[in-house]
Amino acid sequence: MLKKAHSLLLLSVALLLFVLSACGDADSDSNEDSNGGSNEGETSGVDGDKEAVTIDFMHLWPAGVSAGQNKIVNEIIEQFEAENPHVTVVQEVLENEQYKTKLQVVSSSNQLPDVGMTWAAGFLEPYVKGNLFAPLDGLLENGFGDTFVSGTLEAYAMDDQTYALPLELNIAPIYYNKAIFADHGLDVPETYDEFLNVVETLVDNGVAPIALGNRDRWTGSLWYMYLADRIGGSEALNTAIDRSGTFENPKLIEAASETQNLVNMDAFVRGFNGLSNEEAKAEFLNGSAAMYLMGSWELPNFTTNEEIPQEFRENVGFFKFPTIEGGDGNIDSWVGGPGVGLFVAENSDVKEEAMEFVKFFVEKWGEQSVTGAGVIPGTAVDTSTLDLPQLYIDVLNELANASNITLFADVQMSAGVAETHLNMIQSLFGNEVTPEEFAQTHEEALSLEE
């Protein structure tokens, strides 16, 4: 027994020593690194006539799953470092949810990375109000601002100042499986009645019409938004959110009840309220559901993604959400908008370099993102010079012809109201609230913010 105790003691001592040595080691390492890790910027060493600086860049495009994006990011950074030898760009990559949590945590101590990714409107607002993001209007001079698709910059603006530059722009068409449509003699619907007919035919033949993963809730919001747009016109929802209108607008209530009508017709896959978007997408990709309303970020899956059978990819088409008879909507009005954009931290010690980097990045990104990563950038794309799959060209043309793009409702709203909206969407789809209650709850949440 004593022998055992002895060895245990020895073991723990040995391990503690290891701890101490490892920590000491780490300590010396992190001294150089902590300069990069925080916002202080490096002041060590002189390179040429400029002091060496480090830009911290936090983003959410890991090499593993976003290989295309990641490769472009690294190339741009290399080019930037080559042109600015005194600058080193250090990346930190996190996945979506961890990224958002970390952004908030580091903000609380005013420790934002020099450059990072943000979402538009409602997400951006508290950071701007907290004076954490630097205005980027200076960058937009000399014509650079004109290279962006009109309306995209506004999504990142508050009080006439722009706080981030968009890297992505998406619209949400309804993708459909041509083979399933052909099997049942269906044509692409141009009016809502034809669309309902498609749904009915598919249900009668035992095919799930629409893949929807409403556990994520913004997915169901897309359907409601389109119905609101086609019934009430593109301003109905926007004005309800910015308080110049109301959710109790009869047209919006009609949109909510039409949503429930679709649910009651069994238009959506079984158990949609418990499915994630990933699971719903799988049902569309394996041909068990005929339609899927989703952002144009899914295009790689229908064109270049080798993992998905070619036969399926060739069978995917898209159509615009059909117009509703008697409604005020325009078929060229879309739900969509810019996704992530780049911000510069207001208290960055290397603000000048960070600004330059952001401008450089957005320019280079715009040149390569569609071909290299399948991402439609916020800057205008010239389709005639690029070799792209037809589906991309079609979507880009639709984008060019769009009469209006309504920003995703949960992005437009402040975080608190967005949460109410998303919960209400899930309840609406679950038939747990009436369209009137749906409208009323939105009104209550919005009026609290005023």
Question: How many residues sit in the footprint of another protein (CB under 8 A)?
Answer: 90
Report the residue from 194, 200, 363, 419 that binds another protein according to the rule CB under 8 A: 419
Residue 448 makes contact with another protein by CB under 8 A = no
355 contacts: CB under 8 Å, gap ≥ 6: 134, 136, 138, 139, 344
Residue 414 makes contact with another protein by CB under 8 A = yes
The CA radius of gyration of the chain, in Å to the nearest whole number, is 25
- Cβ(426)–Cβ(220) under 8 Å? yes
**What residues from 325 to 344 belong to the interface with another protein (CB under 8 A)?**
339-340
Q: Is the CB of 104 or the CB of 191 nearer to another protein?
A: 104
Helix (H, G, I), strand (E, B) or coil at 243: coil
Report the residue from 63, 182, 265, 400 that binds another protein according to the rule CB under 8 A: 63
- Cβ(99)–Cβ(60) under 8 Å? yes
Residue 191 makes contact with another protein by CB under 8 A = no
Report the residue from 47, 79, 85, 105 that binds another protein according to the rule CB under 8 A: 105
Residue labelled with tokens 């101590």: 109
Shortest Å, Cβ 444 to another protein = 13
Helix axes 121-129, 415-429, angle to 10 degrees: 160
- Convert residues 298-327 into a mask of x (bound to another protein by CB under 8 A) and - (unbound): x--x-----xxx------------------
**What residues from 365 to 394 belong to the interface with another protein (CB under 8 A)?**
none
**What residues from 217 to 236 belong to the interface with another protein (CB under 8 A)?**
217
Residue 2 makes contact with another protein by CB under 8 A = yes
Report the residue from 84, 210, 215, 365 that binds another protein according to the rule CB under 8 A: 215
Residue 107 makes contact with another protein by CB under 8 A = yes
Residue 44 makes contact with another protein by CB under 8 A = no
The single-letter code of the amino acid at 398 is E
Q: What pairing do the DSSP bridges indicate for beta strands 333-338 and 404-407?
A: parallel
Q: Is the CB of 250 or the CB of 309 nearer to another protein?
A: 309
Shortest Å, Cβ 291 to another protein = 17
Q: Is the CB of 249 or the CB of 369 nearer to another protein?
A: 369
Q: What pairing do the DSSP bridges indicate for beta strands 87-93 and 157-158?
A: unpaired
- Convert residues 129-168 into a mask of x (bound to another protein by CB under 8 A) and - (unbound): xxxx------------------------------------
- Convert residues 192-211 into a mask of x (bound to another protein by CB under 8 A) and - (unbound): --------------------
Q: How far apart are CA 163 and CA 344, in angstroms?
A: 8
Q: Is the CB of 294 or the CB of 381 nearer to another protein?
A: 294
Q: How far apart are CA 7 and CA 29, in angstroms?
A: 33
Q: Is the CB of 308 or the CB of 380 nearer to another protein?
A: 308
60 contacts: CB under 8 Å, gap ≥ 6: 66, 93, 94, 95, 96, 99, 117, 340
Q: What pairing do the DSSP bridges indicate for beta strands 289-293 and 208-210?
A: parallel
Q: How far apart are CA 450 and CA 445, in angstroms?
A: 9
308 C-beta neighbours (distance < 10 Å), count: 16
Residue labelled with tokens 């009469």: 403
**What residues from 251 to 290 belong to the interface with another protein (CB under 8 A)?**
269-276, 278-279, 282-283, 285-286, 288
**What residues from 4 to 43 belong to the interface with another protein (CB under 8 A)?**
4-5, 8-9, 12, 15-16, 18-19, 22-23, 26-27, 29-30, 33-34, 36-38
Shortest Å, Cβ 64 to another protein = 3
- Cβ(86)–Cβ(53) under 8 Å? yes
- Name the phi and psi angles at 344, rounded to 5: -120, 135
Q: Is the CB of 265 or the CB of 448 nearer to another protein?
A: 448
The single-letter code of the amino acid at 382 is D
Residue 127 makes contact with another protein by CB under 8 A = yes
Helix (H) or strand (E) holding 57: strand 53-59
80 C-beta neighbours (distance < 10 Å), count: 18
